[in-house]
A = this chain, B = another copy of it.
């Protein structure tokens, strides 16, 4: 355990916490007081830290997505679990019918279930835009939807390139949890670039 902590750079107390919370599987027992932690444990520990520290997941959400990786869940199932882990709990009843109608018009032709957390969250954002008087004179929202399709296609292509189900599910989870931060970050860099092109 002390060695595992040194190798990983994660304090022993944190590792024990992850073991107790069943995020990390127990090491192989060697004696009553010793267990060995191998490369798979180290990989899992790094994944836990990325999900919690960079992705902002709670321990409970991190456990759910790790279970989805370790289970025989299909990719659509893994997506559902990963999406729920990063989405605010919004119920259709929390939204005005007009908000849902706006988002459904925007996503016309898409195969999206009514309870998809993205559909509900997008309806909430469109409602907020409308509430502050913003409009999409130049197709703002539709162009976001087009960009979202490109991102999702990139996600799926990357997932398909992974060698087996477990690796695919891990990319589903990591991509869903960390991908939001990547696109938001790149958007800020792109805003500076496009602004400087237009206003210089």
Question: Chain A: residues with CB nearer than 8 A to chain B?
Answer: 43, 46-47, 49-50, 53-55, 74-76, 79, 83, 86-87, 107, 110-113, 116-122, 124-126, 128-129, 131-134, 136-141, 143-158, 160-161, 170-171, 174-176, 178-199
Contact = CB atoms under 8 A, between A and B. Distances in A.
A184 B128 CA distance: 15
B153 A150 contact: no
A47 B87 CA distance: 23
Nearest to A162: B137
Interface of A is mostly: helix
Contacts of A53: 128
Q: How many copies does the complex hold?
A: 2
B180 A184 contact: yes
A197 B111 contact: yes
B146 A150 contact: yes
Contacts of A189: 107, 110, 112, 116, 118-119, 122, 148
